[in-house]
Structure 1
Amino acid sequence: MKYKTFQTIILISSIFLSIGGCVTSKPSAENNTNYTISPPVSNNKMVHVNGTKIVDGNGNHIKLKAVLLEGWLMWNGTLWGAGLTSETKITQRLEKMAGKEQTELFRTAIYDHFITEKDIEMIAEIGLNTVRVPFNHTILEDKNPLEDYSARGWKYLDNLMTWCERYNIYVVLDFHSLPGGQGAFVSDPEFINVWHSEEHQQRTVDIWKAIANRYKDRQIVAGYDLINEPDAPTGKNLVDLQKRIISEIRKVDKLHMIILEGGNFSSDFSMYDSPLDGNQVYGFHTYNFFTDETDVKNLEKLSELAKKQNVPLWNGEFGAHKLSWIEDQLELYENPKFPINGWTFWPWKRVSENSNRYRNLAKIIPGDDWKEVAKGISDLFGPSNKITPEFTKKAMDSFIEAVKAENIVYDTEVKDLLKKY
């Protein structure tokens, strides 16, 4: 999720990333000239598309009504009360305050406790039927000094699948941070972003193929959201990489639905002249941090594209606004004139900031010690030397308690509103 109030900062960062990337950029080794669209599969028992509708394995129209499980397998400082900070920066600042080993133990604790079966049970009780699950490439690549990342990442995703099967909650797998990053917001230790590195593109393709091969038989998986909010230099760069990913996925999994996002924070789909797959959805995002206006004009434009190409729309993120705006957006998503097949509220839970303007579904209530550590994460000049490793460890432990499902607190008005739809 991106805060558009920081678009200028992000734009400047994009320029520097592009300059840095171009110095060592390599052209794609993949030639999409012979790309062939995979046709729809008859009698598909997975969630799939039928014209402009999403249907279940029995062919019944369904709307995927979801929450975003960000802050778990993909960290975001805005969810933790630490400002507009990436997972990389959070990690670096925590290592400075607590040391590498303690930070790695904290990471494991977040993975173990931020999302558990209890969270999935609570989501089901609200009446939602889907979770969109952001993940960082690091959880599926073996780069962890203390533990095999690959084994750890699969373990958490496997557990999630099992919980969701128990509570009839569909899973959308969302590649939120590609090797090197796909935009200025999601910084990555590997500075050259994916658009300027053939190696990073190939790793992205390989990860998706591994995911598809592992979960090809899981009916609880609703779809593969290939690239979150891509910020490619050109539309062709984006489409070419998506084609590469789809080609490899279809070698091992011909059934699961593909979700494609566009540019400009997943609001611009002008690069798509035609569908890239016979079982695909366009996943758009909606935020407005400046006014109370809804995005009717963009929805009309997207709907025209979807109807022309006979492809469904799905809202992959919206929220961070007043209650009245959230309700207005939900009304639009339910309007039958738009081929929108559900929505995703951002996020499931977070540390509340300016809760009157930016309403939350579930609040994480951290202690004062974590607030001090969060300042150290977000501060421009880094943490104060007064924050000791002992203090940071105590704050980390208290934050882990605060994020547990049994300790979060609902905004009942938001909860009731989502249940209504």
Structure 2
Amino acid sequence: MKKTLLIAFGIFLLAFSACNEHLIVEEMEADTSVEMLKSGGAITSADFLKTNGTFIRNNYGNGSNVYLRGTNAGGWLVQEEWMCATNAPDQKTMMNTFESRFGKSARNNLISIYENNYWTSQDFDNCANMGMTAIRLPFTYMNLMKDDWSDIKTGGWDRLDWFIENCRIRGMYVILDLHGAFGSQNGMDHSGEVNDGYQFYWNDYHKSMTKWLWWQIANRYKGNPTVAAYDILNEPGIKGGLTTSLQWDFYDEVYDVIRSVDSDHIIIMESCWDAAQLPHPNVYGWTNVVYEYHYYPWDYVNDYNGQVNFVNSKINDIANAGYNVPTYVGEFNCFGLANAWEYTLNAYNNEGWHYTSWTYKALGNNTSWGIYNHNPSRVDIYNNSKKTIRNKWRKVGASNSWRNNTVYDAMVEGLKGTAVPNGEYYFKGVSTNKIISADNGGNDPLVANRSSYGGAWETFTVVHNSDGTISLKSEANGKYVCAVHDEDNRLIARSSGIGAWEKFYIEKITSTQFALKSSYNNKYVTINQEASNVLYATADAVNLWEVMYIYNTDGTQIMD
């Protein structure tokens, strides 16, 4: 009887409020319980990530390589006028305006309606079904703090907890990105507060509050394997300026605060904009860190060749820096060029980089800023009634969005990645269970004859070429492996450069087995038992003698 009366009363209130827009009936926040996943692979404690040289690996850095690749949840907890259904210049102005017009309770209710609708279980499923392994989650202090900054607000962790748990059950990691610090670290709209940019680094209170907040975050999520990393500050250069020791010193302070409570999670240091704008990690004694870059080829929006050169210049920049930490492209866009998306993602994959596009969803009918597009009516924060704001923000969800096929298709293909990015490896024949060696310092043909990995003679550097092939450089003599087609197609490390005979396709046979095919004669590389297990590019098909295992030089096996 009580339940029936409550339902009837609820129906009455809804009907009455529909007839009288002046009646104040605050809506309850939508259920934020975890929805059941549609695909398996939930993250467990064994999936906890740490860095290992330039790699990120599970099992606290001792397991398999993991590549964090996906998108940003931009526009959900931090609204930006150019990409969200609002005319507010920044998040803080929106909150203050709603408070002055409607009061704090109504302000919070309106923002909850937006957040409840903008990102739902369908969006998690969309990301997981695309093959994403990670989502970067931008947020500001305003999402967590009481208005007077005295403490975390009641329910302040709910959004982050809900997001992390939904990602966990779908097998996706979360990168926690402090997009807006107290007072704004850059003065830009995406920090949640537009100002002159000088309200942070010279304000000890704002800095101390930001360090306090990172302690709270690290204390809450320490030991949580779904949290991949802590991204200290988004684009911390003042008004789009460069990062210097001003930012690095603050990074170091936050690093120490986090490490005082959480010794295990990866910490991300952002550059504005290239490698030179970050220090070598040894300068500050940082360990288990990742360096992040945001790459936007603004000068080449409609120029494919320009974007290719832009990407290649970034690859060279990172390689020349030699920081020996994983590289993460936290934000990027290739605009409307499908071939530029393909080239860029292939390049990132081949380099073994981690990346998240900006962003998952953006306002517009065909904008490359979003994998998904939508075009709801903008909220006028200064003039729209509460009823109008509620109605507009109910339409910012998945049911009113659609794919941008250029970006979606490129991302789906790119997220497949490559199992063997650029780097040093050794190869073992499945048929012989022997490791392949460039014997006699590389002077003899490649042969599968080693019982264990010994060093340079068994080490080959994989280099991805722009045409989809790879080349192998022997560390025994620094020469590229050549399929000598005028000498029975045997393989020998003899070439100083890469030509047609030094190019191979790498094919995945199973999740742990691979084969090489010469691009010159379209023949598979085989271990010839009749020739003392010397390697030749002579096989027409893949059988037992053509299949290889591939290992990182520390002995961890490559598995897709």
1:299-378 alignment, distance < 5 Å: 299-305=315-321, 308-319=322-333, 321-324=335-338, 325-335=340-350, 338-340=351-353, 342-352=354-364, 355=366, 358=368, 360-366=370-376, 370-371=377-378, 373=379, 376=380
1:210 to 195, 212, 216: 216
1:400 to 393, 400, 403: 393
1:15-414 alignment, distance < 5 Å: 46-57=48-59, 59-82=63-86, 85-92=89-96, 102-143=106-147, 150-185=153-188, 186=191, 188=193, 193-231=199-237, 235-263=244-272, 266-275=273-282, 276=284, 277-291=286-300, 292=303, 293-294=306-307, 295=310, 296-305=312-321, 308-319=322-333, 321-324=335-338, 325-335=340-350, 338-340=351-353, 342-352=354-364, 355=366, 358=368, 360-366=370-376, 370-371=377-378, 373=379, 376=380, 387=383, 391-414=384-407
For the residues of structure 1 that align with 2:114 and 2:200, how far apart are their CA atoms?
27
For the residues of structure 1 that align with 2:106 and 2:200, how far apart are their CA atoms?
30
For the residues of structure 2 that align with 1:90 and 1:220, how far apart are their CA atoms?
32
Superposed displacement of residue 48, structure 1: 1.3
Cα deviation, 1:374-405, whole Å, max 9, x if unaligned, reads xx56xxxxx5xxx4xxx443442233222223
CA contact (8 A) 1:363 1:408 kept: yes
Superposed displacement of residue 95, structure 1: 5.8
For the residues of structure 1 that align with 2:205 and 2:398, how far apart are their CA atoms?
39
Distance 1:298 1:234, change over 3 A: closer
For the residues of structure 2 that align with 1:51 and 1:230, how far apart are their CA atoms?
25
Cα deviation, 1:192-222, whole Å, max 9, x if unaligned, reads 5211111111111111111111101110111
Report how many aligned residue pairs link the two structures.
352
Q: Which has the higher strand share?
A: 2
CA contact (8 A) 1:322 1:359 kept: no
Cα deviation, 1:179-199, whole Å, max 9, x if unaligned, reads 000113135389752111111
2:224 alignment partner AA:
R
Using the size of structure 2 for normalisation, the TM-score is 0.58
More divergent stretch after superposition (280-289 vs 96-105): 96-105
Q: What secondary structure is seen at the aligned counterpart in 2 of 1:151?
A: coil
For the residues of structure 2 that align with 1:190 and 1:214, how far apart are their CA atoms?
31
CA contact (8 A) 2:117 2:395 kept: no
Using the size of structure 1 for normalisation, the TM-score is 0.76
Q: What secondary structure is seen at the aligned counterpart in 2 of 1:396?
A: helix
Distance 1:399 1:363, change over 3 A: farther
Distance 1:269 1:89, change over 3 A: farther
Distance 1:45 1:278, change over 3 A: farther
CA contact (8 A) 2:362 2:369 kept: no
For the residues of structure 2 that align with 1:156 and 1:93, how far apart are their CA atoms?
23
CA contact (8 A) 2:290 2:327 kept: yes
Cα deviation, 1:77-97, whole Å, max 9, x if unaligned, reads 122155793212344555677
For the residues of structure 2 that align with 1:310 and 1:134, how far apart are their CA atoms?
26
Q: What secondary structure is seen at the aligned counterpart in 2 of 1:78?
A: coil
For the residues of structure 2 that align with 1:159 and 1:184, how far apart are their CA atoms?
29
2:260 alignment partner AA:
K
For the residues of structure 2 that align with 1:365 and 1:259, how far apart are their CA atoms?
33
Structure 1 unaligned regions, length at least 5: 1-42, 378-382
Distance 1:220 1:234, change over 3 A: closer
Q: What secondary structure is seen at the aligned counterpart in 2 of 1:196?
A: coil
Superposed displacement of residue 98, structure 1: 6.3
Structure 2 unaligned regions, length at least 5: 1-44, 415-560
Distance 1:190 1:212, change over 3 A: farther
CA contact (8 A) 1:303 1:339 kept: no
Once the two structures are aligned, what percentage of the paired residues are identical? Answer: 26
Superposed displacement of residue 290, structure 1: 3.4
Cα deviation, 1:83-129, whole Å, max 9, x if unaligned, reads 79321234455567767654332112223332233321221011111
